[in-house]
Amino acid sequence: MLLQMQAAAGAPPLESMEPVVLRKAFSEQSKMTAAPPAEMSRVEERQIPGDETDIPVRIYRPITDSEGLLPVLVFYHGGGWVICDLDTHDDVCRSLAAEGECIVVSVDYRLAPEHRYPAAVDDAWAALLWVAENSTSIGADSERIAVGGDSAGGNLAAVVTNMARNQGGPELAAQLLIYPVVDIARMDRDSHLKFGNDYGLTLSGMEWFRDLYLGPDQDAKDPHVSPIYAGEFSGLPPTIVMTAEADVLCDEGEAYAQDLINAGVHVEHTSYDGMVHGFVSMAGIIDVGMQARKDAGAALKKFFA
């Protein structure tokens, strides 16, 4: 259905559009594909301190019988580090808060090309540190923190998870990686070739995002860019990996899951048959998208327990 909609709309290739125009287009598309928003106990907008500028965040508290501190998921939205924002992923965050029975802190990190790497990583890390240091002020339990994200947001979640392990904290209960970007140095895996055209996110589109994010002088194999090159994966927290069968990023997500398994990390990997990149954000028109949100929430609850 989604691919038919895109074809009927005559959508031009991503790489043919200016980022500011593409952002507006995706903002409108997200409204058409979003699920009905789950009701929250409270939604709060804040500005938190970053290294160079304040970072907008949106904090979701679910409706729950608990009056104590809740676990918290720090969430980074997808969009190739170039597009999307708090609003495009609002319904996703509401679902994760409701299904995971946790607070969700959605992070509006700086976007490329106006702010190239490492701006997004810096903001993602600053947000995690802020949540860890200010957890009680938002009603969260500092001993039950997870990070997560979809696509480029999954990349940021994987990167800050490795950073937390390497720097001795914050200790994380889990990481949630939804069709994550973990290797932008290599674009020749089977899924890149098999699903690189006509399945939503294209190979050329992914290369365009990469180039806007990195610029000409950065190393795509830097583990803070492509976490699959971290080299050491032991000691990482329980990891939830979700991949889509007909997704250009499918194989790298599966490879990352296997690398973590080989290192002794507890990994729960689910591959969603027939799904394309971005399906979790399209739960308003793709039923499996909502099921994946429920799956993610159930896994988070287990690791938060």
What's the CA gap between 273 and 246, in Å, rounded?
Answer: 8
Q: Which of 91, 247, 251, 295 is catalytic?
A: 247
What's the CA gap between 105 and 170, in Å, rounded?
Answer: 16
What's the CA gap between 76 and 60, in Å, rounded?
Answer: 14
Q: Helix crossing, 90-100 with 287-304: angle to 10°?
A: 50
Q: Which of 95, 135, 151, 191 is catalytic?
A: 151
CA atoms 107, 208, 204, 159: torsion sign: negative
Main-chain dihedrals φ then ψ at residue 36, nearest 5 degrees: -55, 135
Annotation marks residue 217 as catalytic: no
Q: How many residues does the structure list for the chain? A: 305
Buried b (16+ CB within 10 A) or exposed e, 112-127: beebbbbbbbbbbbbb
Annotation marks residue 183 as catalytic: no
The DSSP element (H or E) to which 204 belongs, if any, is helix 203-214
Closest to 180 in 3D by CA, of 261, 263, 242: 242
Is residue 280 within 8 A of residue 249, CB to CB? The reply is no
Annotation marks residue 222 as catalytic: no
Q: Where are the alpha helices (DSSP H) in 47-202?
A: 90-100, 119-133, 152-166, 190-194
Q: Which of 89, 192, 224, 277 is catalytic?
A: 277
Main-chain dihedrals φ then ψ at residue 227, nearest 5 degrees: -65, -15
Other Cβ atoms closer than 10 A to 3: 12
Return the active site residues. Answer: 151, 247, 277
